[in-house]
Amino acid sequence: MTENRIYNFNAGPAALPLSVLEEIQESFLSFKGSGMSITEISHRSKQFDDVINDAVARTKRLLNLGDNYHVLFLQGGASLQFCMIPMNFLPEGQSADYVNTGTWSTKAIKEVEIQNKKCETVASSDDRDYCYIPKNISFNKDAAYAHITSNNTIKGTQWDQFPNVGDVPLIADMSSDIMSKKFDISPFGMIYAGAQKNIGPAGVCMAIVRDDMLKRVPEDLPSMLKYTTYSSKNSMYNTPPCFAIYTIDLVLKWLEETVGGIEKIEEINRKKAGLLYNLFDTSEFFRGTADKDSRSLMNVTFRLPSEDLEQKFIKTAQENGFGGLKGHRSVGGCRASIYNATSLEAIETLVDFMKTFEKENG
């Protein structure tokens, strides 16, 4: 481990690949020999054109996107998309289907209701405190779209297989698991992701929108709340978050060229998560909180026998170079967020520490 750096298990903003941070550090004062920092160059310059176009091209290659998908970079995070999606894609007189798997789904549903638009919660796991992903869901054939949250950072659940919604466009908040595993893009009218969990720093949201969805966008929306504003201007209608997009481009380059693509990172992610879940399954001390068939590859949530032991575990872990293991404030407990940039070595070292902690405190 590099001197003064800890094993970072924060849920977001989260770990970035060390090689990306080193490349940023090396070129920060003079980006590509320009004599200016990436934070100083004009977003109208060829230098930044190359950055944003490369980020779009790498996204399309990694996710196998056709020309009918547009890669957009927006500000306001995934939370702004919660209200923009119904604004852009839910006409008067129609209803949208939502699956509620926890906090972020609940917030997305609330934003539809604020606008006095119609939506139906077609499935929810609130009956068991969101510890599982609902199955065998009946979606409405005439829904304007169906919305899911692909991974729940707080409860540690994730869709292993995406639901079949027929001809209804599927929309997914993939903030915490985009680029982490292979999936078929064709059912999706849109996916979106706040960058700060798995693909970059805070300050930008990636949205991938299909052509047919853009045709739905009303003309009378404010310019900055229309997806067509961004698709028609290559995300540069106004000054975009240049540094955040630059960092995403470097992360995608790392994923594509150093790791070897989505299939390779999925293999690594499954191995990382498997080490932790195997520990839970063979321990009477650590207990995973998500149902086995709904466990997240990105956010591993767990409890210890008492809250006192949890506090001791978090404190002792921090003292030993493991940061970010405290559970979300709304649920307590512990959580290891093990996004793409978190190495297999970090997980192996954490598991060894956890086994030692159990021996000393169990």
Dist CA 75 CA 203 (whole Å)? 6
Whether 173 sits among the annotated catalytic residues: the reply is yes
The 3-state DSSP class for residue 359 equals helix
CB atoms within 10 A of CB 259: 17
Q: In Å, how far from its chain's centre is CA 52?
A: 20
Q: Is 104 a catalytic residue?
A: yes
Q: In the chain, what is the straight-line distance between the N-terminal and C-terminal CA atoms, in Å?
A: 29
| Nearest alpha-carbon partner for 149 in 181, 184, 191, 105 | 105
Per the residue annotation, which of 97, 173, 177, 249 is the catalytic one? 173
DSSP β-ladder status, 205-210 and 188-194? antiparallel
Options 181, 197, 272, 326, the catalytic residue: 197
User: What one-character-per-residue DSSP string does 14-44 give?
Assistant: ----HHHHHHHHHHSSSGGGSSS-TTTS-TT
List, in sequence order, every residue forming a beta bridge with 8; answer none if it has no partner: 323
Which of these, 38, 70, 58, lies nearest to 233 by C-alpha position? 70
Confirm whether 211 is a catalytic residue: no
Give me the catalytic one of 104, 181, 226, 249. 104
Distance from C-alpha of 3 to C-alpha of 13, rounded to nearest angstrom:
21
Q: Please report where in the chains the tokens 């852009």 appear, as a residue.
A: 88
What DSSP assignment string belongs to 108-138?
HHHHHHHTT-EEEEEEE-GGGTT-S---S--
Distance CA 137, CA 99 (A): 9
Catalytic positions, written as ranges:
104, 173, 197
